[in-house]
Structure 1
Amino acid sequence: MPALKWLERHFEEVICCVCLSVIAVAVFSQVIARYAFEVALHWTEETAAICMVWAVYMGASLCVRERFHIRIVVGVKAMPERIGRVIIFLADLLWAFFCIFMVRISWDYLYVFWRFPETSPSLGINQFYPQTILIIGYGLMLIRLIQTYISWWREGGNGLPGMLEEEWEETTKDQEHQL
């Protein structure tokens, strides 16, 4: 089970690194082919575009897991802990509903690709497969958000969800010193 635990912890990072590596190889190949051999490689642009979309969605999931997504934590930290928790909880609840909504919309979108297959112009692959990142990405974001609250609850529910207790204590001490 250590391999599964490692994969659970680093899944998004691995996918992001692979995608960024493929992008680098594709773009480098295109540059070499064009300037050294005066030939255009048609597959590189589409490959790089697909990998970029996958890297963005996996990066978004990684940000949810690490609690790096956009929020005004400074303002929340400046409030009393109870109010900060309510605001974070409401924001995360809205985020969870948005993810559920997007999974549902993505499901309908993918259903169209499944019923009416469309192949990509350069790679000749069914567009259904690269487009699955929509469900995978939003689904992972939702799972990572839920995981954050489960681990926060298991650790006693101190501070803000997803924030280390030491961070919360350090922030509150800084605020007390400023007063």
Structure 2
Amino acid sequence: MLNLTQVGGRYFFSVGFSWTEEVMRYSMIWLMMMGSVACIFRAEHMGIEALEAKVPPHLSRYVKSALYSVGGVFCIVILVYSYPLALRNAAQTAPASGISMILPYAALPVGAALMLLQIALSWFSGFERDGPGPVELAVSPVNKEMR
């Protein structure tokens, strides 16, 4: 919607909204961090699937555990360095939109903390989902008959 406002304002009304580009940029950072949490929850990171497919099925749990460990260490590094950075930028405001710069900078520590939580939950659950995922539900026998 912001992109439509920006393009529409520029080409139809000859008015450029500088704040829309800035807000879109900050929203993309948040979207990327929250999307990473969702990828960990659904075990859909490309690297995990690619490396897991190269080992025998009985070793895939160990490969996934090692990959999640590396991801957890990376998230700890992000959390340790990004939290003080977010606090240091709390007094700044964005030039076009006027929002506090702690909001875009907070995406990194919040996202890293949520990814760490999801990694820990994945370890405790044994990297298995309790029930069918959204794909399995979408192609259930009941839904196949409806097609």
TM-score by length of 2: 0.78
Partner amino acid, structure 2, of 1:119 = T
Partner amino acid, structure 2, of 1:34 = R
Counterpart residue number, 1:49:
25
Distance 2:103 2:89 in 1: 9
The unaligned stretches of length 5 or more in structure 1 are 1-24, 153-160, 167-179
Please list the CA deviations of residues 25-59 of structure 1 after superposition, one character each: whole Å capped at 9, or x if unmatched. 11111122112211111211111111111111111
Counterpart residue number, 2:65:
89
Please list the CA deviations of residues 44-96 of structure 1 after superposition, one character each: whole Å capped at 9, or x if unmatched. 11111111111111111110110011225355345344433222211211111
Q: CA RMSD in A?
A: 2.2
Provide the identity percentage: 26
Distance 2:19 2:13 in 1: 16
Counterpart residue number, 2:125:
151
Q: After the TM superposition, which residues 45-84 of structure 1 pair with which residues of structure 2 at under 5 Å, given as runs?
A: 45-73=21-49, 75-84=51-60
Partner amino acid, structure 2, of 1:32 = G
The unaligned stretches of length 5 or more in structure 2 are 133-147
2:44 aligns to what SS in structure 1?
Answer: coil
Q: After the TM superposition, which residues 14-53 of structure 1 pair with which residues of structure 2 at under 5 Å, given as runs?
A: 25-53=1-29
* Corresponding position: 1:104 with 2:80: yes
Q: Deviation of residue 103 (structure 1)? A: 0.5
Q: After the TM superposition, which residues 110-129 of structure 1 pair with which residues of structure 2 at under 5 Å, given as runs?
A: 110-114=86-90, 117-129=91-103
TM-score by length of 1: 0.65
Distance 1:138 1:62 in 2: 12
Distance 1:52 1:163 in 2: 28
1:47 aligns to what SS in structure 2?
Answer: helix
Counterpart residue number, 1:19:
none
Q: Deviation of residue 162 (structure 1)? A: 3.7
Counterpart residue number, 1:14:
none
Partner amino acid, structure 2, of 1:98 = F
Distance 1:109 1:137 in 2: 14
Count of aligned pairs between the two proteins: 132
Report which structure shows greater RCO (CA 8 Å, sep ≥6). 2
